[in-house]
Structure 1
Amino acid sequence: MPEGDTVWKTARLLESALLGDVLTGSDFRVPQLATTDLSGWTVAGSASRGKHLLLRLTRDDRAMTLHSHLRMDGTWRVFATGERWGGRPAHLIRVVLRTGRSVAVGYHLHEVALLPTAQEAALLAHLGPDLLGSDWDSAEAARRIAARPEAPIGEALLDQRNLAGIGNVYKAEVLFLRGLWPWTPVSAVPDLEGTVRLAQELVASNRDRWTRTTTGSLRRGQTSYVYGRRAQPCLRCGAAIRKSSVEQREERVTYWCPRCQPEPA
């Protein structure tokens, strides 16, 4: 599931494959960009902001940014020119970018847009401090969360306006490690800044590897404490891990240990 660490690594992947190269062709399989041709544009940079990907392009005195969002199922794959594409069904392809040495293929991308680079700041202005960005500020993230004291802490951590880069996995794991019931009101959380600092530490610790772990183990089935472990024994106390039946949407699913994260009395 793409979260801030995955998006950060994806930006580095595109950077290593495309940076400095001139695009020899492009194929957009989204209605709003179907006729767009980026041939002749040079890849000037690749960056992430929370869960947003920004591929920066230049030509003559113009600067444009190709923006995409991975949400729950998007991904970019890179292939050598002439290499057979694999790993995802062809009908999920949304963007293809070609250079003399590489082909970058975007599968199931969301919010694909091409905009002047100068407009990036306006596009992303709603986001809170980026967990992996130079603007990271734990005090500011905690301040934003505290502005809605009635909100459940799980919901507050997912709100990208508070802090950018957390998804379901890190939400569940942070709350487990802090011993917080996911629906605890923000006002009842004893150390908001400590909670967001832990989130940043976990995300940062995984940004240089594709196999994500919050437990410290890279062994299959042991990389998370609660996420994806419904009905399995808690690694700490042995109680059966629960999965939310309250939040019906999959993008808001919650896992927790009823013993290590008890509902407040």
Structure 2
Amino acid sequence: MPEGDTLFRIAAALGPALTGARVVALELPRSDQPCRRLVGRRVERVEARGKNLLIFFDEGTVLHTHLRMSGAWHLYRDGERWKRSEATASAILAVPGYVAVCFRAPVARLLRASALRGDRLLGGLGPDLLGGAFDAAEALRRLRALDEVPLGVAVMDQRVVAGIGNIYKSELLFRTRLDPFAPVRAYSDEELSAMLDVGRRLLQSNVEPRDPPGMYRGSTAHYAATRTTRAGGDRRKPVSVYGREGRACYDCGAAVQMRRQGTMMRSTYFCPHCQPTRAAPPPSGPAPSAP
């Protein structure tokens, strides 16, 4: 699943082509929502919110897509051959000179900008780790509300912070040497705040442009493939633990392990030596009454 840095870079790639341009055509092939009213309107901006991409139009409508596991945005110049079948398109947005196509997105819909705050998919998102005004105190408060949840599950909850997916979850907890399977309450506010800070810096380090000015990339996969989460940004060894089950930890030599977590059984990669088991204190509660 594309994570926050990938969506940020997709928005940065689509923005220059779309922002300020008049809509020539807009189709949502898998939806019965009317799109015709947006032809002739202008694109105001393209914005990433966590793992969501939002395209704002000047009359107050927003195109929302969520790629989940299978989706991808491509950007083509007029007349350029598409790299995927049109039958798999979820959204097609044409402006003079360009066509932006979202393929295989489970979520592709229109809604009013005024409804974003109360929307069931977007309204409950936690602070965006790549947002310009990241509210660290609010993120910590939301994390603390999940004190009994394993840290590796809680940090993936988009209602806590928006933008962390499976890769960053594993890499972040390895970098901060935290046990993914201990409950949130096993950690101090200082440890959790430091973890969130490292997560923000990790994502920020992967949104810098890696292409020459004026170039664009059509495939979402390009942005994931150029991600590095190891200290020093070694492109030959871009990740520390993710996807490396059974291989030696670069830092200590122990075998990297993988366990599944949460109701969705998402994979968590970790080093048992660098991330030792954390014993949680007993839950706090009212003192027992005297007999």
TM-score, scaled relative to structure 1: 0.91
2:53 aligned partner: 53
Unaligned runs of 5+ residues in structure 1 are none
Q: CA deviation at 1:245?
A: 4.4
Matched, 1:241 2:241: no
1:95 to 72, 78, 91: 91
Q: Per-residue displacement from partner, 1:70-95 (whole Å, max 9, x unpaired)?
A: 22332211010001111x44443211
Q: CA deviation at 1:256?
A: 0.7
1:119 aligned partner: 115
Change (3 A) 1:248 1:160: closer
1:42 aligned partner: 42
Q: CA deviation at 1:117?
A: 1.6
1:181 to 171, 179, 182: 179
2:220 aligned partner: none
Q: Per-residue displacement from partner, 1:162-190 (whole Å, max 9, x unpaired)?
A: 11111111110111011112111111123
Change (3 A) 1:182 1:32: farther
Write the distance in 1 (CA, Å) between the matches of 2:267 and 2:252: 22
1:4 aligned partner: 4
Write the distance in 2 (CA, Å) between the matches of 1:178 and 1:245: 20
Write the distance in 1 (CA, Å) between the matches of 2:75 and 2:195: 36
RMSD of aligned residue pairs (Cα, Å)? 1.8
TM-score, scaled relative to structure 2: 0.83
Amino acid at match of 2:275: Q
Change (3 A) 1:206 1:27: same
Write the distance in 2 (CA, Å) between the matches of 1:228 and 1:248: 20
Unaligned runs of 5+ residues in structure 2 are 210-222, 280-291
Amino acid at match of 1:108: R
Secondary structure, in 3 states, of the residue corresponding to 1:31? coil
Q: CA deviation at 1:137?
A: 1.6
1:72 aligned partner: 69
State how 1:1-265 maps to structure 2 within 5 Å. Answer: 1-33=1-33, 36-37=35-36, 38-58=38-58, 62-86=59-83, 88-123=84-119, 124-190=122-188, 191-209=191-209, 210=223, 211-215=226-230, 216-220=232-236, 222-245=237-260, 249=264, 252-264=266-278
- Looking at CA atoms only, which structure, 1 or 2, has the larger radius of gyration? 2
Write the distance in 2 (CA, Å) between the matches of 1:253 and 1:153: 13
Q: CA deviation at 1:16?
A: 1.2
Q: Does the 8 Å contact 2:28/2:108 carry over to 1? A: no
Change (3 A) 1:164 1:29: same
Amino acid at match of 1:104: A
Amino acid at match of 1:234: C
Q: CA deviation at 1:217?
A: 3.0
Q: Does the 8 Å contact 2:256/2:272 carry over to 1? A: yes
Write the distance in 1 (CA, Å) between the matches of 2:276 and 2:79: 55
Q: Does the 8 Å contact 2:153/2:261 carry over to 1? A: no
2:213 aligned partner: none
